[in-house]
Amino acid sequence: MGQRARSLGLAGIMFLSVLAGMLMFDLDGSTEEAINLGPSIDGDSGISLQAGQGMTVTLIVSDEDLGTIELEVLIDGSKTDAYTISQAGEVRIDVPPDKRGVILIEASVVDEGGLSDNWSGTFTVSSPSPVLHIGEALPVSEGEKLFFGGTLSYDEISECALSWEEPEGNGGSLPIDLGEDGRFGHQIDGSVGTVTIRVVADCGSEAVHSEFQATWLESEQAGCTDPGASNYDPSAENDDGSCDYSPDSDGDGTSDENDLCEGHDDSVDSDGDGIPDGCDVPPTSYNASDMLDFWVDKFLCQDGSGTEVDDYNTTGHDAHVCSVTVSWDEGNVTISMNGLPNHDFESGPGCCASTQAYSLSIPRSPSNDTVGGHDPTNCPEAGGSYQCAPDRGSIAYAINGVPIYGPEDGPGGDAVASQHGAYDEDRQEIWLGLCHGHTGPGGAYHYHADANCLHWHSEAQDEGWRNYSFPPEGDGEASPVIGVALDGYPIYGAYGVDSSGVLTEMKSSYRLKEGQTGYNGIDDYEYVAGLGDLDVCNGHFGPTPDFPEGIYHYHSTMQNGEGDIGFPYFLICYHGSVEEGDGDPCEGHGETWGPGIGPPPDGCDPGPPPGQDSGASIGLLASFEPPVGGLIALICLLALPYEGILRGLASWRGPSDRVGTTHGCHPAQV
């Protein structure tokens, strides 16, 4: 019996030895030559393109070795080199911006074995409609000329003619000089009163118009000219002696309703700053070179001023109260926050929000980032010139102390695009409530877009918080500040002054790439200069209600220049310098990244998948690349008694090509 066992053992050893030799022989590639599969190229046809910069057509090339293929692209019969091809075989062809009408694109691909494939498609390039913006025309006195101006945006400005008329008048239309860049300005005469002026832009096949009110005031208008009086008339030029100062509780010669600070003589202003001595009245404009006073005045919820708010995803009233503390030293402002909002909110599936401990240090004098050379992997459209905002966690803070997150949430898709129905999120439930905010792991409430709730008062509207919708303003006034970026520059709401001096809802310059939905987060978007009002970081330099001389600032955006979704909603990179923190960049496992939440930050070890060992024997076997064939099934059967070997083989995946993917063995759970 022992002899028989030894014989069987020797036979088994010989079989395994022969099998190992066969495996190594096969691994060496000497028994079989690689099969050359022909390349393929494909793409959509018949798509309409918007004329101008950023017109692209996307094709897909497949081959087992993309590094050796030759690609040729023709546009209307002319060869072009204006295309790129990614490692995954995505070909992006740039269409010349001057193309119009129906165009033909042809592409051919040849591999090193001489096999080839061809593709052709037609596309229609249409010109955008003209857009006319008219700035606010200020009233003038009788006999003076009234000035108005604005911009005309159109692909072919040279084809347009501009004129103005009184719709109710009988004077006909009069021409307006139009600059090559679409800007215009004009002066007109008028009589006392208010009339409607219509400006018409005729661009051949399309014409648009816009109207505004022109007002001429009577000269030498009489009234009370003292701002301290209760009946002060700002339009009065001659004082008629009618000024009334009652009631005047402190007897300083200024009525109570116009007192800058009751109890102080408004006529005593030693330093000439427009604020009476002893008064602590916030200024109407701030110093952009030292923003300490600005942040001290603007951050909400200081000194116990927060009000009790409710989380609608809980039972009963939660009586949450936001809390913010502002401190400073010679160069920086430090804001400490408990992360609770100053308005009712909805936590969503991540219920429930809880008190946090946030601390942010920003420079009192922010400066532009002039170093460049930052890692552009998270915001490739910035070209490495600006520091990217983080994939996960806070990219800024609202002035009520609530963190502002970027577009990507748990699984890596654009949470805002999903919320607005651009795609269905099938990896992890993403739900945004009031003001596009929700609660994440650890009870951290945060915004992904909007955040203008902090300035909206439901009681003033005689409505409940569920009646809030974006945007809360739109009454002709520039939006107030809503937050601060990590570089120290402010973030304002939706409305601001564009490059033409026109007050408008600010639009982002990002759009979805052809055929994309936001499912892949920022990778699905591209920056197109001039598409909207804002730059690659979603900001610009210009005047604000607090800095009339201008400051660089960001805007919250819910639309882009084409009227589609306003990615990146707050910002995607930092125009200003951001000091590197001392914390561990890989912190946040189980809170901002990890199983069921999202991928780790770049450079951080994700660890083994749940339930999988990381022993040396597994790693060794997994590093081999077994041959593909019928022997795999036999190896799996032989390996079944050995749990360690089984796990190693089960973790392996074979090479893939355009025909399909060949996998290693995957036995049942053991």
Q: How far is it, in rounded angstroms, from Cα 653 to Cα 662? A: 7
For residues 504-510, give the mean pLDDT.
94
Most confident option among 100-114, 161-175, 220-234, 371-385: 100-114
Whether residue 45 has pLDDT greater than 50: yes
Taking only the tens place, the pLDDT of each residue in 99-154 is 878 899 999 999 888 889 999 999 988 777 888 989 888 888 888 899 999 989 88
77 three-class SS: coil
CB 251 within 8 A of CB 258: no
- pLDDT, the chain, mean: 79
Taking only the tens place, the pLDDT of each residue in 423-455 is 998 988 888 999 999 998 889 999 999 999 998
Angle of CA points 37, 42, 44, to nearest 5°: 170
**Cβ burial, residue 297 (10 Å; 0-12/13-18/19+):** middle
Whether residue 644 has pLDDT greater than 80: no
Q: What is the pLDDT of residue 642?
A: 34
Q: How far is it, in rounded angstroms, from Cα 503 to Cα 497? A: 4
Dihedral sign for Cα atoms in the order 199, 202, 203, 209: positive
Whether residue 592 has pLDDT greater than 80: no
Furthest CA-CA distance within the chain = 131
DSSP 367-433: -B--------TT-GGGTTSSEEPPSSSEEEEETTS-EEE-SB-TTSSBHHHHHTTSS---SS-----
Q: Count other C-beta atoms under 10 Å from residue 431's C-beta.
A: 15
Q: Residues 60, 61, 66, 70: what is their CA dihedral angle, to the nearest 10 degrees?
A: -120
Q: How far is it, in rounded angstroms, from Cα 584 to Cα 447? A: 24
Cis peptide preceding 490, ω within 30 of 0 = no
The band of 13, judged by pLDDT with boundaries at 50, 70 and 90, is low
Domains defined for the chain, CATH in brackets = 40-126 (2.60.40.1220), 131-217 (2.60.40.10), 292-574 (no CATH), 616-663 (no CATH)
Q: What is the pLDDT of residue 625?
A: 35
Radius of gyration of the chain (CA): 33
Q: How far is it, in rounded angstroms, from Cα 152 to Cα 143? A: 29
634 three-class SS: helix
Q: How far is it, in rounded angstroms, from Cα 52 to Cα 566? A: 20
Q: How far is it, in rounded angstroms, from Cα 562 to Cα 128? A: 10
For residues 283-292, give the mean pLDDT.
88
Taking only the tens place, the pLDDT of each residue in 17-39 is 555 555 444 444 444 456 888 88
Q: What is the pLDDT of residue 628?
A: 38
37 three-class SS: coil
The band of 286, judged by pLDDT with boundaries at 50, 70 and 90, is very high
Whether residue 489 has pLDDT greater than 80: yes
The band of 661, judged by pLDDT with boundaries at 50, 70 and 90, is very low
Which has more confidence, 1 or 130?
130
Dihedral sign for Cα atoms in the order 632, 634, 635, 637: positive
Q: How far is it, in rounded angstroms, from Cα 552 to Cα 531? A: 19
**Predicted TM-score (pTM) of this structure:** 0.51
Q: What is the pLDDT of residue 482?
A: 96
Q: What is the pLDDT of residue 638?
A: 40
Residue 64: name the closest of 44, 89, 83 by CA.
Answer: 89
**Cβ burial, residue 560 (10 Å; 0-12/13-18/19+):** buried
CB 329 within 8 A of CB 405: no
Q: What share of the chain is helix, strand, coil (3-state, %, to 5)?
A: 15, 30, 55
The band of 456, judged by pLDDT with boundaries at 50, 70 and 90, is confident
Dihedral sign for Cα atoms in the order 302, 306, 311, 317: positive
For residues 280-308, give the mean pLDDT.
88
Taking only the tens place, the pLDDT of each residue in 353-396 is 999 999 999 999 998 876 555 555 556 666 667 888 888 889 99
Q: How far is it, in rounded angstroms, from Cα 222 to Cα 239? A: 6
